[in-house]
Amino acid sequence: MRMSKMLIPTLREVPAEAEISSHKLMLRAGMIKKMASGVYNLMPFGIRVIKKIEDIIREEMDDTGAQEFLASALIPSELWKESGRWDAFGPEMFRLKDRNQREFCLGPTHEEVFTDIARDEIKSYKQLPLNLYQIQTKYRDERRPRFGVMRSREFIMKDAYSFDIDEQGLDKSYNDMYKAYKNIFKRCGLETSCVEADSGAIGGSGSAEFMVKSEIGEDEVAFCTECSYAANIEKATAVAEIAEKEEPKELNKVETPDVRTIDELVEFFDTTSKKFGKTLIFNADGKTVAVVVRGDREVNEVKVVNAIGGAIEFELADAETIRRVTNAEVGFAGPIGIKTDILLIDREIAEMSNFITGANDTGYHYENANYGRDFEGIVGDYRNAVEGDKCPKCGKTITIARGVEVGHIFKLGTKYSAAMGANYIDENGKNKPLVMGCYGIGVNRTMAAVIEQHHDDNGIIWPLSVAPYHVVVVPVVTKNEEQMKVAEEIYNQLKNAGVEVLIDDRKERVGVKFKDADLIGIPMRITVGKKVSEGKVEFKLRSEDEVQIIEINEVLQKVKYEFEKNNVRL
């Protein structure tokens, strides 16, 4: 392409709205343009990268035997009512009505649609296993759209749905997707870690996320420093820290006027937060749930929701509810005598001796509380894992890092097929529900994550595999006939060889051309300047500082070598 004929809306200024590198650089490189909160137009360089990522995804998916589909984004509400998700999805779903008042949504995901296709089209075990995928636009009215296309309200997702006869079949489909995802992200130049993820209260039997480690990540991941254990903090098993048991002492009610928070208690009792049992009260679909964890721990709401069998609405209880279940003002809740519908006790609390906790009486706490003797409840793991915890797999140390989720693989089991009657006839003529998996990749988010991992102060450094163009040919002085002639020759030679090449024939200073080439991140730059009279040009990789002087007739070979080196087909 001739850059003089292209729309190249690059910006020199850093846009004020952007907080993270990838968002800033995408705006500055003119890849995206914002239309509304979380709604972006893809500009020419942006869509080229998206297509590259999509092509890699297609190749790897097709390689596993999966088959491409394209479902409609407009989905009738009936399907969602069958699965029970019309209500469960809540405000994240964009809903609309047609002229006859029929309800629809803009698909936030497509389990229902693909289950519907499967129940109509799959009759017999002979048609299984089957894996259907699509690359399609999704709509989610995110509570907090941010970071540009990392979390937007319209985005492109590759979603796949597998159908098997049994769990064993699902395991194989899931593993095939795991391998395909590893290949996809590697080919995009992304370093990812595959981490165990929460699969929800009624979800299936396994789930893993592909995470890109990054400061700006919205997920926290627990990694073992020694073994391969890695899990989303939502899921990571928190190994209880067990102190030596003491002889139980007599329960003692202490007057603690105006002492409510853990900090105030630590000062009042002159001890550490580890000696306290902290009680949090939640509302879960109209039921009250108390959770008791050690004073220095954080309650893990995902674990709690799973433990109570799922909840659509789940939030901290208001002051009135707290007064009702504790018979006290806020700040004095404890497990002894509390009147919540459900009482959950973290494992650590069950192991502690003689701890301090609220007395459910305004202005009082108990000393020497002990599980079993003074109160009982459902004991389990309800806290967040923290840095320094023991690894649940090998016992060594856990560290916590932030990550961006770019992909998700999920064993659904028969959740949707049973709800929607998607069955097949097995070998013995029996009717059975299809065993399903679902697998997603955020295409735009992947593009942003690649930039997060590949950039410097001057701009993006695209891996060759996903670069919008491979090479830019820069004539230093456009008015110089010889330079333009050679630049054109190189441009045509590369184009004919199948290289995606730009020629910067704009009437700009060479400094501007270099700045744009660096900002947009074109992997190879060929500069045609004064040395052309000696038959030489400059060859520079965006990823390296070194400028090489090469013969004009070496250019194609040099470029081809980069393709080989990076394992990218030309």
CB of 63 to ligand ATP, least distance (A): 21
- Binding region for ligand ATP (CB under 6 A) out of 299-307, 358-366, 383-391, 402-410: 402-410
Residues 94-133 that bind ligand ATP (CB under 6 A): 109
Contact string 424-463 vs ligand ATP (x = CB under 6 A)? ----------------x-x-xx------------------
Q: 103 or 142: whose CB is closer to ligand ATP?
A: 142
Q: 132 or 369: whose CB is closer to ligand ATP?
A: 132
Residue nearest to ligand ATP (CB): 442
For the chain, give the number of residues.
570
CB of 547 to ligand ATP, least distance (A): 38
- Binding region for ligand ATP (CB under 6 A) out of 96-104, 173-181, 400-408, 488-496: 400-408
d(CA 410, CA 204): 7
Q: 155 or 375: whose CB is closer to ligand ATP?
A: 155
39-42 and 32-36 beta bridge pairing: antiparallel
In 32-168 the beta strands, taken as DSSP E runs, fall at 32-36, 39-42, 67-68, 74-76, 94-97, 103-106, 130-139, 154-164
Q: 230 or 490: whose CB is closer to ligand ATP?
A: 230
CB of 524 to ligand ATP, least distance (A): 29
Q: CA separation (Å) from 309 to 202, 291, 411, 415?
A: 7, 15, 18, 14
Residues 295-334 that bind ligand ATP (CB under 6 A): none
Task: Phi first, then psi: give them for residue 314, nearest 5 degrees.
Answer: -145, 115
CB of 145 to ligand ATP, least distance (A): 7
Binding of ligand ATP at residue 152 (CB under 6 A)?
yes
Binding of ligand ATP at residue 85 (CB under 6 A)?
no
**Residue whose token pair is 């229902």:** 112
d(CA 331, CA 280): 10
- Whether 233 and 222 have beta carbons less than 8 Å apart is answered as yes
- Binding region for ligand ATP (CB under 6 A) out of 29-37, 152-160, 490-498, 504-512: 152-160
Report DSSP letters for 119-145, one per residue.
HHH--BGGG-SEEEEEEEEEE---SS-
Binding of ligand ATP at residue 140 (CB under 6 A)?
yes
- SS3 state at 309: coil
Q: 152 or 199: whose CB is closer to ligand ATP?
A: 152
CB of 21 to ligand ATP, least distance (A): 17
Task: Phi first, then psi: give them for residue 153, nearest 5 degrees.
Answer: -100, -20
Q: 138 or 275: whose CB is closer to ligand ATP?
A: 138
Contact string 405-424 vs ligand ATP (x = CB under 6 A)? xxxx----------------
Which residues are paired to 222 by β-bridges? 231, 400
- Binding region for ligand ATP (CB under 6 A) out of 151-159, 172-180, 339-347, 376-384: 151-159
Cβ-Cβ contacts under 8 Å for 437 (sequence gap 6 or more) = 161, 162, 164, 170, 173, 174, 177, 204, 409, 410, 411, 412
Q: 408 or 525: whose CB is closer to ligand ATP?
A: 408
Nearest to 474 by CA among 404, 518, 420, 527: 527
- Binding region for ligand ATP (CB under 6 A) out of 39-47, 148-156, 228-236, 457-465: 148-156
CB of 222 to ligand ATP, least distance (A): 16
Q: How many of the chain's residues bind ligand ATP (CB under 6 A)?
A: 15
CB of 442 to ligand ATP, least distance (A): 2
CA 468 to mean position of chain CA atoms: 24
Binding of ligand ATP at residue 151 (CB under 6 A)?
yes
Q: In the numeric block, which tokens belong to residue 34?
A: 């914002």
Report DSSP letters for 351-404, one per residue.
H--SEEEE-SSTTEEEEEE-BTTTB--EEE--B---TTPBPTTTSSBEEEEEEE
Residue 224: HSE in the Cβ half-sphere, 13 Å Cα cutoff: 19
Q: 222 or 537: whose CB is closer to ligand ATP?
A: 222
Binding of ligand ATP at residue 207 (CB under 6 A)?
no
Binding of ligand ATP at residue 148 (CB under 6 A)?
no
CB of 446 to ligand ATP, least distance (A): 7
CB of 197 to ligand ATP, least distance (A): 8
Q: 199 or 357: whose CB is closer to ligand ATP?
A: 199
Nearest to 108 by CA among 77, 132, 129, 82: 77
d(CA 383, CA 346): 7
CB of 156 to ligand ATP, least distance (A): 8
Encode 398-421: b = buried (16+ Cβ within 10 Å), e = exposed: bebbbbbbbbbbbbbbbbbbebbe
Binding site for ligand ATP (CB under 6 A): 109, 140, 142, 151-152, 155, 157, 405-408, 440, 442, 444-445
